[in-house]
Structure 1
Amino acid sequence: MRFKVLLIDDEPGALEGMQLWIDWEELGFEVCGICSNGAEGLRMMAELSPDLVVTDVNMPLMSGLEMIGEWQKNGTKKISFAIISGYSEFEYARKAMRYGITHYLLKPVEAEEAAAELRAIYSELLDEAEEQQWSEIASLEEQVSLIRQLLEDRSGQEREYPDSLSALSSGREAWNICLIQTEPSTYAELRGILTDLISQEKSMFLVDMEMNRFGIVFGYSPDQGQADDACRALAELSVRYAAHRVFMATGAPVKSLLRLANCYRTAEEALKFKFYDPDYAGVISYASIENRNFQHHYDPIRLVDNVMEALTLLNAANYHETIAAAADLFRELPLAPETVKKTVFHLMYKMKDYLEDSLGKEASATLANYDFSFLADSVMNLNDFMNLLLNFGLECIDLLSREQALKSQGIVQEINEYIREHYREGLTIKKLAERFYLHPVYLGQLLMKKNGVGFNEWVHNLRIEEASRLLLENKYKNSEIAERVGYVNYSQFLKQFEKRMGMSPGEYKNRN
């Protein structure tokens, strides 16, 4: 640690000698200035704020002792003093002791003697600095503790606080809080950076809150633009850490630190609206959202039905459209973030259950990539939540599609054989789907892909094929043949026969 020293002497040679023959750097000091009288010394002490002043006692305009007395009476900082005097000036030394000055150098100053005295002074300054540091830490911890009590007081009732808090409050014209919420993984890093950032600020305090949150409480004078400076610094920090998901919001300013709970409440309201920001950079202010409200009521039944239908039908395009439409609706309302999160959680667990029921152990690898437990404490905006839901659903559809493709290779043949055996009955796609535990629409898609025609066309083709064979046997009437192949209405049989054969049953029989 290095301390600043100011040298004062009306003899230029003495000043030059002290600078040249004493190794200030090696002794832990840095000469920050020199001057030639007490009056100038007072000015430079105020300007340079040295830790030690080495001064001659016998100088024109204002003696060294007069200067020391004046500073000890009106100075703004505690400074250590060492006086320089000759053998014949013992009275000066005795008077210096009344000012509490115990360090005395004799003229002419000898380098070795000065070094010994300065080492003793350095040791004293080091002890004082450490003691002051611990005192400041204790004072800061006490202030932060009191500020946390102010933030946590939601009663709205007047309470008595120490005078030190009122004194702190009166030091600034306005107060506010920047509430910061981070991911658990970046909390410690960001907190450490902000601690260093505000360590030299007298009216900025970092207060740890719950749920990976902390607040920067800051006082400022609006007319001097200090609020803008504080917000600008925080905004730059948010841009720097936007990739790490950080929500930052300031509340409504108050004139008294004792009303800080209102800042906290309004900052919490503003923080919720960061959910709808397209990215994480920037600090949102309560003033920008003061007249905006969230919609809290939302019935997710239709959304759940659409999502599960797309999942069941393995329709990735419809699923994508459904999620995009839901995101647009949430943003338009806007829906309260906690309601959006509950809806997303519900949908993801529904899909998870469906995947496990459909695939069993085959689903474990996909589900292992999605840890839903972390979502409750995560800092995610709407875009990230909906992208998570979208990607999870699309991955489920892809996995189910691949599994269905493997199974369908054998099951379609089995279904076609069943249709060939039962087409004469009142067979419908619904009955067939129930028998083979498939969704009717999905079953229809499988049959279309395998047979090249839809289910109904395939049944009519089989019936007319059988009717053509029976007509050539010439054992039955046309109406009997229609009934035998599954038509209860002869006109329907006639229509389907003419459509496929290009002639009536009678013409077909006569030609063949």
Structure 2
Amino acid sequence: MRYKVLLIDDEPGALEGMMLWIDWERLGFEICGTSGNGADGLSKIKELKPDLVVTDIHMPLMDGLEMIGAWQKDGDRSVMFVIVSGYSEFEYARRAMRYGINHFLLKPIEEEVAEKELETVYRELCREHEKRSINLIAAHEKTVCLLKKAAMDEPLSEGDLDALQRLSAAKAAWNFCLVQCDPPAYARMRETAAALLREREAMYLIDIDTHSFGIVYGYAPFRGAEDEAFRILERLSEACASSRVFMATGMETGTLMELGRCCKTAKEAVLFNFYDTAYGRIRTYDSVKDQTFRYHYDQVRLIDRMTGALNVLDAPGFAEAVASAGQSFRNEWVEPEIVKKFVIHLMYQMMDYWKELGTEQSESLLEACRPLPFGMSDAVIHHDDLMDSLLACGRGTIELLAREQAQKSQGIIQEINEYIRAHFREPLTIRKLSEVFFLHPVYLGQLLIRKNGIGFNELIHDLRIEEAAALLKQGKLKNSEIAESVGYANYGQFLKHFEKRMGMSPNEFKTKT
């Protein structure tokens, strides 16, 4: 580490000698400026902020000791001083000790002696810097702990309240920015925020929950977006745009005594990010304070539409039901946690279907439907992402159920056709057949069409007319008796289907055969 040095002497030759004879860079220093008297030197200390001042004692306008005394009385930072004096000025040197000065260089300056003394000064500066750093870190951590207590509305002692009031005086206005992160993004986002806030005035990072943190920031209200605090928050927002991160600021306050209200209103505002279309944008409490969520909606109708589509393996119908539900939630501003519970409820219903598929198939469905919303009460997810997840899971469920039923049906389709041939004379319906074979009526009807090329009803009438034709050839029964024996309670219905399939009436058929 290099420390800045200011050289002060009223003799130009002495200044030039110190600059040339001493290898300042090798010793860990860099000369930031020079001065010819104490008054100007005092001004240069304020302007250049040196770590070390090497000064002559006897100078016009203000001598070195007067300058040191003035700085130690009114200066705003710690500075180390080295006195340059001659043997005749030893009394000045003794006075310097009263100011805590214990490093001296005698004129004429000898390079070797000066470098040895400056090496000692460098080590002391390093120790002081480390000590200051530790103290600053400790003070910062103490401030952060105090701000967290205030933000969380925890009890504050009188000392805490006094400290908050002193801290409040640094800025005219204060607020709280809540940053909620998806677990994989949390560490990176917190590190980014910490880097942006490092050594920033009146900006503090505090940890809230497992994957949330907050930024307490002070600013000048009249400067608005031009204030540095807002620029820092905007840079953090830009860094969060590619990750699942929600950000929101609370209600502005003029004192840190009301930081709890800032935090609470930021938590209220961040909920509205659920219906946003992107991540990383900062939601302000002022933009949503007049907006309210709804807690009631037509849950039964929405669930019935989706489960109905699932039951009949209707993927387009399920997609339409999800889209309708999503639009309803958005239009009515349904409270986010209620929407999440709605989706979770449907997910668990679908899990009941998965249990019939076996472990391997269930795992493949779970993988295909990520990100799943189970346990997502603290997760960062948009409304659209949530509905997309529900849609993907529903489609996967329908696809796997259809595949499973298709596999099962291949082994029993012959059995189903044999059952139909044995019972076509009875008042057999597709619903009754589905109950016998434990298949959904719609799916069973589609399966029979794929296997036989015709629908269930057409197959029944074909079998009945086929048998009726055989009985007519035997000539033992009346037409009405044949119609009844093959399953027609109404002769007119029998006649219609016979003529349709045979191209003639039963009597014409008997005459020709």
Write out per-residue CA displacement over residues 336-376 of structure 1, whole angstroms, 9 at most, x where no aligned residue: 1111111111111110111213x233433325525655534
Structure 1 residue 264 displacement after superposition: 0.6
Letter in 2 for 1:389: L
- Give the distance between the partners of 1:147 and 1:320, measured in 2 at CA: 48
Structure 1 residue 199 displacement after superposition: 1.7
- Give the distance between the partners of 2:227 and 2:413, measured in 1 at CA: 70
- Give the distance between the partners of 1:457 and 1:87, measured in 2 at CA: 127
- Say if 1:172 and 1:221, in contact at 8 Å, map to a contact too: yes
SS at match of 2:277: coil
Judging changes above 3 Å, is the alpha-carbon distance between structure 1 residues 235 and 416 closer, same or farther for their aligned structure 2 residues? farther
Unaligned runs of 5+ in 1: none
Matching residue of 2:66: 66
Structure 1 residue 228 displacement after superposition: 4.8
Write out per-residue CA displacement over residues 235-263 of structure 1, whole angstroms, 9 at most, x where no aligned residue: 33233233321111111110110001111
SS at match of 2:355: helix
Structure 1 residue 158 displacement after superposition: 11
User: 1:178-197 to 2 correspondence within 5 Å?
Assistant: 178-197=177-196
Matched, 1:364 2:362: yes
If the length of structure 1 is used for normalisation, what is the TM-score? Answer: 0.95
Letter in 1 for 2:424: Y
Structure 1 residue 438 displacement after superposition: 0.6
Matching residue of 2:353: 354
- Give the distance between the partners of 1:54 and 1:204, measured in 2 at CA: 36
- Say if 1:467 and 1:481, in contact at 8 Å, map to a contact too: yes
Write out per-residue CA displacement over residues 177-236 of structure 1, whole angstroms, 9 at most, x where no aligned residue: 110111223322222222222121131111111241110000111123467532332233
Matching residue of 2:505: 504
- Say if 1:176 and 1:217, in contact at 8 Å, map to a contact too: yes
- Give the distance between the partners of 1:141 and 1:342, measured in 2 at CA: 39
Matching residue of 2:171: 172
Letter in 2 for 1:462: L
- Say if 2:340 and 2:373, in contact at 8 Å, map to a contact too: no
Letter in 2 for 1:295: R
Letter in 1 for 2:384: N
Matching residue of 1:119: 119
- Give the distance between the partners of 2:21 and 2:320, measured in 1 at CA: 83
Judging changes above 3 Å, is the alpha-carbon distance between structure 1 residues 377 and 7 closer, same or farther for their aligned structure 2 residues? same
More displaced, 98-107 or 187-196?
187-196
- Give the distance between the partners of 1:113 and 1:154, measured in 2 at CA: 59
- Say if 1:356 and 1:363, in contact at 8 Å, map to a contact too: no
Matching residue of 2:162: 163
Letter in 1 for 2:113: E
- Give the distance between the partners of 2:139 and 2:477, measured in 1 at CA: 109
- Give the distance between the partners of 2:158 and 2:347, measured in 1 at CA: 47
Matching residue of 1:401: 402
- Give the distance between the partners of 1:79 and 1:154, measured in 2 at CA: 40
User: 1:302-317 to 2 correspondence within 5 Å?
Assistant: 302-317=301-316
- Say if 2:294 and 2:333, in contact at 8 Å, map to a contact too: yes
Structure 1 residue 271 displacement after superposition: 0.7
- Say if 1:274 and 1:381, in contact at 8 Å, map to a contact too: yes
- Give the distance between the partners of 2:376 and 2:437, measured in 1 at CA: 38
Matching residue of 2:343: 344
User: 1:285-324 to 2 correspondence within 5 Å?
Assistant: 285-324=284-323
Structure 1 residue 159 displacement after superposition: 7.6
Write out per-residue CA displacement over residues 412-447 of structure 1, whole angstroms, 9 at most, x where no aligned residue: 222111111101001011100001101111111111
- Say if 1:479 and 1:490, in contact at 8 Å, map to a contact too: yes
If the length of structure 2 is used for normalisation, what is the TM-score? Answer: 0.94
Judging changes above 3 Å, is the alpha-carbon distance between structure 1 residues 362 and 54 closer, same or farther for their aligned structure 2 residues? closer
Structure 1 residue 154 displacement after superposition: 7.5
Matching residue of 2:457: 456
Write out per-residue CA displacement over residues 374-424 of structure 1, whole angstroms, 9 at most, x where no aligned residue: 534421111221122121222222222222222222322221111111010
- Say if 1:8 and 1:41, in contact at 8 Å, map to a contact too: yes
- Give the distance between the partners of 1:65 and 1:228, measured in 2 at CA: 41
- Give the distance between the partners of 1:377 and 1:4, measured in 2 at CA: 50
- Say if 2:219 and 2:227, in contact at 8 Å, map to a contact too: no
More displaced, 158-167 or 81-90?
158-167
Q: How many residues of Structure 1 are paired with residues of Structure 2 in the alignment? A: 510
Write out per-residue CA displacement over residues 52-93 of structure 1, whole angstroms, 9 at most, x where no aligned residue: 111111222222222112211221112111111112111221
- Say if 1:178 and 1:251, in contact at 8 Å, map to a contact too: yes
More displaced, 176-185 or 237-246?
237-246
- Say if 2:144 and 2:206, in contact at 8 Å, map to a contact too: yes
Matching residue of 1:258: 257
Matched, 1:384 2:385: yes
SS at match of 1:40: helix
Matching residue of 1:86: 86
Letter in 2 for 1:63: D
Matching residue of 1:278: 277
- Say if 1:2 and 1:29, in contact at 8 Å, map to a contact too: yes
Q: Percent identity?
A: 54
